[in-house]
Structures are given as C-alpha cells and as structure tokens.
Chains A and B, each alone.
Chain A
C-alpha cells in the first residue's frame, strides 16, 4: 500500500505541490519566528554579557517602581566612597549609563529613536570597558566623544567631525575621537551609544554629582556573591548591590520579556497561517479522496481492508507533511530575514550577530507541520473508506448525506456560539484572558466553517445573481458550480474568511482606537501647540519648557509628565510591586492648556493644586472608594512615600491622565525632574500664531534636537501615522494567511476542473469559447472569494463589537469603516481573479475530444 501512496503523489504532482505549499507557508512562519527571535536573543545576550565584562558586582539604586522609560533613579556620588570602604572591593568606578541621550544625525534629526534607547556612557577604566574600539579610542577630554560604529557609518561621521549629543541636561557639540562596537553586534537593535568623559556625560544627561551605577571588581579571594552581600549590608536603604552575573541576567530577562512578546505575536500569526493551511489540506484530501472513492472500492473488492486504505491515505499525508515541513523549515531560515526586513521597514532595527537555528526550531517545525497534515487528512480518509465497496463501484457515489450535513451544521452553530461565549469570558476577565479570546476565536472560525455549507447557497446567490445579470451564462454556470458541492466551496471560502476576518477586525479596531485618541486630544487639550519627542513617545528634556516660555507671544508653556506610581498596600515588602499610571502637571500653567471633564470641582483646582493635592479619575476614585477630602498614599520611583488629599474628581474616558493628576512639585521623587512627556503651549490671544510658532521652532531646533513642535492636528496625525505603521506590520503578517487561503482556491478549482473535464468538453463542443470557459472558472473563484470575504467581514465586525464592549467605558467608540470593508471585498474579488488564472487556463485547454471520449 505504501507504493500506492507514493504513486498517487507522483501522479498528481500539482495537487501534491499545492497541498504541500500550504504547509510550507505555515511552517515557514513558525521556523522564521523562532530563528529571528533566537537570533535577537543571542545577540542581546552577547551584548549584555560583554557589557558586564570584568564586573563582579554592580551597585544601583533600588527603584521602588518600574518606570516606563526604563530609567532608574541615579545614585549620589558619595555612595562610591562608601562602596570603596567595603571589604573585598578591589576596584570601583562610578559610571553614567543613560538611556535617553540622542545622537543628532548628519541631517539634523536624531538618529534612530523608535523606542530603542539612546545610550550615553561615561568612560571607564579599560578593565571595565565593554566596548571594542574599531577606530580611534575613548574620549580623553570633555569636548570629545566616541560613538557606536553603526551610527558613525550610517551617518557618515568620521574621526575629527563634530557630533551633536543631546541629553536631558544639555546639548553639546563634541569632536568624534573613536567608534566602537558592543558585544560583537553590528547593529544594536536601533540603539545608539555615545561615550563621554564622566563630567561630560553627567552634564549632558543632567546627572551632575550622580552615577547611574557603580561597577565593582572584587579583590583577590572574594567571590562576587560575597562581595554583593557585603555591599548590600554596608550600603544605605534604596541602594542595592548585585553580582555582575545577576545584573546581566536581569537585563537579559528584561529584554527577553520584550522579545517574548514579539515571539508570541509572530507565533500567533504563524498559527493563523497554519490554521488556514489546515483548511486547505483538509479540503484537498476531502476532494481527492472522494474522487478516488471508486478506486478505493475497487481495491477493497480486490481484498484490501479498510485499515490498509486508511494507511495509504495517511501515508500520503505523512509524506506530504514531512517533505513540506522540511521545505518550510529551510524557507523559514530565509524568511527570518524577510521578517527582519519587515521590522526594518517599520524602523525597528533588530540586532543580529548570526543566524541561530535551535534544535527546538527544527523539532517544532517538523512536528507541527507533519502533525497538522496528518490530522487534516484523517477525517477524509476515515470517511471515504467507510463507503461499502458496492456503492463505490456505482457512478457518482455520494459521501455526505443530508442528515450528516444537518448534524455538521448543528455542531457548527453550537461551536460558534460557544466560541463567542469563551471569547466573552476571556474579554470580561472571568478567566483565561488572551488565551480564552484566542481559543474562542478558533472555535468561532471552526463553527462558522462547519455551518457554512448551509450558508454557501444563499451567499452564492447574493454574489452570483448580480454577476449573472452582468455576465450572462458563464456567470450562471459559475454560480451553479459554486453551490453544487457547498461543503467544498464552504471550506475553501472559510480559509479566506479567517484571514479577512482578522484583517477587517484589525481595521475596525484601529479605526475605533484612532477615533477615540482624536476625541481625547480634542476634549482634554486646549493648548495651541505641543512639544513632543520626534519619535512620538519618548520623553523630552523638561528644560525646553523654560526656553519656550521665554518666546514672545507664548502665554504659558506647561510641562506634562505621564508616569508611573507604586501602589501602597500596607506591607513594606510589596509596596510598589504593582503600579498605576498618573500625570504630573504644572499648577501655575496647567489650566490654560489642559481641560478636564470635571465631576466634582473645576479648572481652578489645577491652578490651586498644592504638592499634596491630587485630582482623581472618577473611575479610579470609585474603585478605591475615595472621595473628596480623603487621603491616599503612593510610593514613587525613588522610593519616597507621598500622601495625597483628594481635592476633586473628573471623568477621563480615554485614560489620558491615568489614575490621578498631581503637582509636579514632586517631580524629582517620581524620577521625572529632567524629562517630560509633553510641553503644552498656550499662546497669547492676540499673538500671530504662525510667527510665534516659527520662533518656538527656532528655539527648539537650536537646543533640543529630539523635540518637535506640533499643533493639535499634527499631534493626531503623528499618532495616527504610528498606528498605521503598526497596522501595516499586522496586515503584512496576516497577508501570509490570506495567501495560503488563495492557494486553497487554486487547489479547489484545479481539482473541480479535473472532476468536470467532461462537462467542460461538452461546453467546448457546443460552442463555448476558451475565453468563456476561463470566465466560468474565474467567476467561480470570485464567488468563492466573495463568500469568504463576506463571512470574514461579518465575523470581523462581530469580533470588533465584542472586543469593544469592555472598552466602551474607556471612550472607545466603535466606528465601522465601510469604505475599508468595501475595499476589502473588492480586493477579495481581485484575489479570486488572480487565484483563477492558472486553473482557468488549464480548463480552457482541455482537449474536447479526450473529454468526450467514452473510455
């Protein structure tokens, strides 16, 4: 029987190829994801390991709260002397290791800056220096700088050039004296490095008299563990000492958390593609096995038992699955660089040292690819071989009885309903969260797919009737062909449905998100202009507000700092373990720039806000049971505990402010004195807006290269552009699933044409032109694609409505982007036309005589 399986594969090369190709695409994404993320992980590992070369222990502040910008509060210079007094310390050096210092490129814009840090280091003695200098060396004087080799190359900087370095403290023009690499990686994932002397680095980063960390080498005979323990005991509260290894590990853990998210996201998309591929595989096996029913019956009359027949089909699936998974694995290694390119086009540069193919990548790819193929083939194999030999020998044995169809539809309906239920459970946080959402969605897709044989005839009529009116007989025949085997059309369309449901869901969701962000900006912000980071989300130096306030025509430049606070829950150990978001405002100027939707209080509360006052988001106040006059404690990033008195409440649907707003008098405690999220600028009523803006831009360009001036519309646009970029990436990944489903259409059409050879021959004999035959095939593809698109759009809308429910409280307004949906339908139809090209050509070239000959 094995040789029969092999011969079948060979005899139907095209079918084998198309089925295998679906598996290849899915496996390719899985393998590509693993290869890419493993490569990134290893690159970062190398970077971090090398960063702590020669370091036995690291002393840093013990941040009470994780802040969103990753900056830990610096420690006072005096701690260095305390460290040196600890027994077992061989050498100790205080360093600046800042993450928000930009290098200004040759075009006057900051280099990189899409979330990747702009690192600034102070020079360290050679024994601690993780950098390898490719040209020149470390800076010797305050007017000198060394930067990473990648930036120097990209920007065309050469030794001796003046390079502008801009930090939270100052912006300086320094002479380039060296270029360096870290961890042997050419790219640092978009991060830049500027190395300055200690005083220089402190001034630029605004950390005069402070260090970000102290690096310690142990004296002979002292273990790093012992050293770290001794230092922890000797140093004051709020300062911690770790071994170099621990520090490296915690940095790795941080970055792996980030990569882990990326990996999960990519694997989800890979899963979607494979899920779609499984429909294709299932459908192909269903059709081919049905076509071979007579062959099976013949084999059975010759004495083959059912198990042997099943083994033959499964053997075929096993071969396809293994071969395709192998090809997919190889393709995935190449695909990793395509993914990397995709991220690069989104301006997310990933570090890369060399392609990493872990054994896990190989095993998962082969097992998942082969397993899925086997699973998809099992059902059709069991079904076809259940046909008794006699029935198979009759012309046109029918496999699915109407009763079977009804049971399938019923199961489908139940499954879809249960899926929506599980999604709701995940959404409303009963349990499971994202996992429940995902499983629910899978159940809905499967349910609708099972149900769709019943949906195909009406949907085909919906699409086919108008087409018939325009295109006549070929469209009529295409329409009829699409419904003569509803199950087949249904699972072909269902594959496309999945991709399109996700695409339309993302489109609807993004439109809603954009709308609610726009609303939030319009409602809350009354400022005329804003200062923001060029990358749209990093902080900007707070000094920019003072400079801008000095421009004539500016009524007020108000600092706004969106940051994190630690929740105080009573036990000292766990204080700050959970965090919330809040906004620091500048009371003297806030009222003119920021308008809150007051529930209890008025704008005056902003102006009159004392250092211990806070106004609360009504929702947060309700959750915590706080009322005006109540007091509540928080812990800040620096570990300081503050107690606020509630002076008012406001409604903040979009969570623009966070849990509460308080005075920036305590900015230092929050670790935010040098930076701000935005500066809101209020102009004098009689000021010439354009002229003032021009002057503000002049001031900003001169001193703050990381800052950009925007008006309300520009702010909205830039947020919109960021979202669009993210959307582009998601569409790119979903595109693969859609491609797989198009192969499904190609495959189904090719197999159907093979079945309908005689009909096509008859059509040709009675005067159907080749062009008309192509039309018949093409229209069937279009009808199938549109059924998938309609089902997909409807599911996308349902998902969007479902998921927007819990977000409604937060101002998420669901707007259905009809234009986008119509465009999707048109694209689906075009995709159908494309998918039909090869099958249509094949159909039109059928040899009329051969088709009509009676064996």
Chain B
C-alpha cells in the first residue's frame, strides 16, 4: 500500500552542480522528470501481491517471504530494512526477477513476472531494471566505460552518448573511464555501478546494500547520488540496507521481519529510522 509521504529534502551547496548537470539532460530521454518527488497517486512501477517464497522442504522449510503485498510508485526512493534473515534480500530478488516466488505475483512496469521464461526475465532485467550490489558490481576485465555500457551492449543497442556523457560528468568519473575496476576505489566502483544502472534509463533501480562495503565519505557520496537520481531523474529506486543513515536518505522505509512487512513509514532522519527499528525490538 502506498503511503503518503514527503520526500526528505536533502542536498545543499556540494550537490548544486550535480542538480544542474542533471537538469541539462534532455527531458525526452527520461521516462519521467518530476522535480518534486513522486506523485501520490502515481501508478506503481513495481508491485508485489501476496508474495510467498519458501526455501527448503519439510522440517527445514523456511518462509523467507510470508505474504508480502507492496507497491512502489513511480519516482519513489524506498529503503527496505530488517534484521538478517528477515527476507529483505529475497524480496528484492523477487521484485527484480532474479528469483521466482513460490506464490504471489510481481509486476514490473506493467509486465507480470510469473509468466516469463528465463530469456524474457533476462531481457526484463537488461532493459527495465538497473542493479547496484554491495560487491562484485563490475566485471574486472572490462574498463569502467565498458562496464557502464554493458547492459546496452548486451542488448546490441548503442548508448545515448548525450545521456552517457552527462551521467559520467554528473557522477564525476570521466577521468576514470578507461580504468579497470581493480584500479578504482570502492566508492568509485559504486559510482560506476550506479552510472551503469542509470544509463539505460531503467524503470526501476535496485540497490542491494550499496554502501555496505564503503567508508563513511564514500557512503555519503553514493547515497547522495541515489537521492539525486530520484529527485532529478524521477528514478524509481528500491534499496535494501541495514544502515539507518542510508535508509534515512529514502522517501520511505519498509521494515521486514520474518518475511512480513511490519513497518511502512517515512522517517525524516537516521534517528527516526533508528526509533523505528527500536520499536520492533
């Protein structure tokens, strides 16, 4: 159920240049360019209905998802939180078409995932979904630029050079483009990964613990970048995290426990998120 919420207003001087850059990207290249966060009555870009995911059988049966119903409106930046084993990663995997639920349905940008075969799911991930993972985001044998263009190349499509250039400048990795991932810092690697996830203008960007492996400076940079993508691109983002500060960057925080959504709120700060978590304990 979409909840009424306000986008957390962040930003300030260090990000103004980024906003300007993003604004100069031609509007026609984006699915939507709302400036003021998600519209309340926007149709959901990703929706899950009564999702159940069971691992194992018999006595060893684990219900990782136990009837999750949730919508993600266009342009919303949502964080999914929860303790280890709560099912947050499984939820993301099911939403992204990486895993198939035992029962229930997932719809991404109008397509119901249940009926899709492996190659259709692959195409969906390639064309409509962007991914940012905690580790192993980049192919070590390809340069940063090649990594960014990978999904497009795989689809046999040419990149929109204008969008590519502007994203690269916005993210600030132009001088790192010819480098291999091993030659980049952790923060740079994640920025490259975000660029890759954005370059094909996906319907939704999934980020799985994107800052889990970073120092606090790099973390902030990456979160700011995601925030900007949501604000300036209207990019729908679903981020799995266990870090309260990261979750506070989002418009909305879902908390999962034992495969069920137990909280759906819009905390405005990290402290508010922590309070939310404390209520669970």
State the A residues within 8 Å of B (CB): 472-473, 476-477, 480-481, 484, 758-759, 761-772, 848-849, 852, 854
Partner of A759, one of B96, B136, B146: B136
Is B154 in the interface zone, CB < 8 Å from A?
A: yes
Give me 12 other A-B pairs in contact (C-beta within 8 A), A477-B142, A758-B136, A771-B119 excluded: A472-B156, A473-B154, A476-B142, A480-B141, A481-B141, A484-B141, A762-B137, A766-B151, A767-B129, A770-B118, A772-B154, A848-B98
By the criterion CB–CB under 8 Å, are B140 and A765 in contact?
no
By the criterion CB–CB under 8 Å, are B133 and A852 in contact?
yes
By the criterion CB–CB under 8 Å, are B98 and A765 in contact?
yes
By the criterion CB–CB under 8 Å, are A762 and B127 in contact?
no
Instruction: Pick from B123, B127, B129, B133 the residue with the most CB of A within 10 Å.
Output: B133
By the criterion CB–CB under 8 Å, are B126 and A766 in contact?
yes
Given A473-B153, A849-B93, verify A763-B135 contact (CB < 8 Å). no
Which residues does chain A contribute within 8 Å of B135, judged by CB atoms?
758, 854
Which residues does chain B contribute within 8 Å of A477, judged by CB atoms?
139, 141-142
Q: How far is the CB of A486 from chain B (nearest CB, A)?
A: 13
28 interchain pairs (CB within 8 A)?
A476-B146, A476-B153, A477-B141, A480-B141, A484-B141, A762-B139, A764-B122, A765-B96, A765-B131, A765-B133, A766-B126, A766-B131, A766-B151, A766-B154, A767-B126, A767-B129, A767-B151, A768-B154, A769-B122, A769-B126, A769-B154, A770-B118, A770-B122, A849-B98, A852-B98, A852-B136, A854-B134, A854-B135
Interface size class of B (residues with CB under 8 A): 20 to 34
Measured CA separation A602–B95 after assembly (Å): 96
Is B155 in the interface zone, CB < 8 Å from A?
A: yes
Measured CA separation A849–B141 after assembly (Å): 21
Is B88 in the interface zone, CB < 8 Å from A?
A: no
Measured CA separation A743–B139 after assembly (Å): 27
Which residues does chain A contribute within 8 Å of B141, judged by CB atoms?
477, 480-481, 484
Which residues does chain A contribute within 8 Å of B131, judged by CB atoms?
765-766
Q: A-B pairs with the 4 shortest C-beta distances?
A: A767-B126, A480-B141, A473-B153, A758-B136
Given A472-B156, A484-B141, verify A769-B119 contact (CB < 8 Å). yes
Partner of B136, one of A472, A762, A772, A849: A762
Measured CA separation A18–B129 after assembly (Å): 39
Measured CA separation A849–B101 after assembly (Å): 13
By the criterion CB–CB under 8 Å, are B153 and A767 in contact?
no
Which residues does chain B contribute within 8 Å of A481, judged by CB atoms?
141
Given A477-B142, A480-B141, A481-B141, verify A766-B153 contact (CB < 8 Å). no
Instruction: Pick from A472, A476, A761, A768 the residue with the most CB of B within 10 Å.
Output: A768
For window 55-101 of B, CB contacts with A under 8 Å fall at: 93, 96, 98-99
Is B125 in the interface zone, CB < 8 Å from A?
A: yes
Q: How far is the CB of B23 from chain A (nearest CB, A)?
A: 28
By the criterion CB–CB under 8 Å, are B146 and A765 in contact?
no
Partner of B150, one of A480, A766, A769, A848: A766
For window 96-112 of B, CB contacts with A under 8 Å fall at: 96, 98-99
Is B268 in the interface zone, CB < 8 Å from A?
A: no
Which residues does chain B contribute within 8 Å of A765, judged by CB atoms?
96, 98, 125, 131, 133
Is B191 in the interface zone, CB < 8 Å from A?
A: no
Q: How far is the CB of B198 from chain A (nearest CB, A)?
A: 13
Q: How far is the CB of A731 from chain B (nearest CB, A)?
A: 37
Measured CA separation A484–B134 after assembly (Å): 23
Q: Which residue of A lies closest to B141 (CB)?
A: A480
Q: How far is the CB of A281 from chain B (nearest CB, A)?
A: 27
For window 220-257 of B, CB contacts with A under 8 Å fall at: none
Measured CA separation A854–B133 after assembly (Å): 10
Q: Mark B145-160, 1 if CB is under 8 A from A, else 0.
A: 0100011011110000
Given A473-B150, A758-B136, verify A766-B196 contact (CB < 8 Å). yes
Q: How far is the CB of A129 from chain B (nearest CB, A)?
A: 78
Measured CA separation A477–B156 after assembly (Å): 15
Measured CA separation A477–B125 after assembly (Å): 19
Q: Which residue of B lies closest to A758 (CB)?
A: B136
Measured CA separation A430–B51 after assembly (Å): 83
Q: How far is the CB of B110 from chain A (nearest CB, A)?
A: 18
Measured CA separation A771–B141 after assembly (Å): 20
Q: Which residue of A lies closest to B96 (CB)?
A: A765
Which residues does chain A contribute within 8 Å of B99, judged by CB atoms?
849
Partner of A768, one of B122, B136, B142, B156: B122
By the criterion CB–CB under 8 Å, are A766 and B125 in contact?
yes
Measured CA separation A759–B142 after assembly (Å): 11
Measured CA separation A256–B122 after assembly (Å): 66
Q: How far is the CB of A468 from chain B (nearest CB, A)?
A: 11
By the criterion CB–CB under 8 Å, are B123 and A763 in contact?
no
Which residues does chain A contribute within 8 Å of B127, judged by CB atoms?
767
Measured CA separation A762–B126 after assembly (Å): 12
Which residues does chain B contribute within 8 Å of A848, judged by CB atoms?
98
Which residues does chain B contribute within 8 Å of A769, judged by CB atoms?
119, 122-123, 126, 154
Measured CA separation A481–B98 after assembly (Å): 25
Which residues does chain B contribute within 8 Å of A852, judged by CB atoms?
98, 133, 136
Q: Which residue of A lies closest to B124 (CB)?
A: A767
By the criterion CB–CB under 8 Å, are B134 and A763 in contact?
no
By the criterion CB–CB under 8 Å, are A767 and B139 in contact?
no
Q: Which residue of A lies closest to B130 (CB)?
A: A766
Q: How far is the CB of B211 from chain A (nearest CB, A)?
A: 14
Which residues does chain A contribute within 8 Å of B96, judged by CB atoms?
765
Measured CA separation A305–B139 after assembly (Å): 36
Which residues does chain A contribute within 8 Å of B154, judged by CB atoms?
473, 766-769, 772
Given A472-B156, A484-B141, verify A762-B133 contact (CB < 8 Å). yes
Measured CA separation A772–B146 after assembly (Å): 16
Q: How far is the CB of B118 from chain A (nearest CB, A)?
A: 6
Which residues does chain A contribute within 8 Å of B150, judged by CB atoms?
473, 763, 766
Q: How far is the CB of B86 from chain A (nearest CB, A)?
A: 15
Measured CA separation A770–B125 after assembly (Å): 13
By the criterion CB–CB under 8 Å, are B155 and A472 in contact?
no
Q: Which residue of B lies closest to A479 (CB)?
A: B141
Measured CA separation A141–B118 after assembly (Å): 86
Q: How far is the CB of B205 from chain A (nearest CB, A)?
A: 12
Which residues does chain B contribute within 8 Å of A758, judged by CB atoms?
135-136
Q: Which residue of B lies closest to A766 (CB)?
A: B151
Q: How far is the CB of A723 from chain B (nearest CB, A)?
A: 47
Measured CA separation A767–B150 after assembly (Å): 9
Instruction: Pick from B119, B129, B146, B153 the residue with the most CB of A within 10 Å.
Output: B153
Q: How far is the CB of A126 from chain B (nearest CB, A)?
A: 82
Measured CA separation A472–B152 after assembly (Å): 11
For window 144-186 of B, CB contacts with A under 8 Å fall at: 146, 150-151, 153-156
Instruction: Pick from B127, B131, B150 the residue with the most CB of A within 10 Å.
Output: B150
Q: How far is the CB of A756 from chain B (nearest CB, A)?
A: 9
Q: Which residue of A lies closest to B212 (CB)?
A: A854
Measured CA separation A763–B141 after assembly (Å): 12
Q: How far is the CB of A752 from chain B (nearest CB, A)?
A: 12
Q: How far is the CB of B60 from chain A (nearest CB, A)?
A: 17
Measured CA separation A761–B136 after assembly (Å): 9
Measured CA separation A848–B122 after assembly (Å): 11
Q: How far is the CB of B192 from chain A (nearest CB, A)?
A: 13
Measured CA separation A154–B135 after assembly (Å): 73
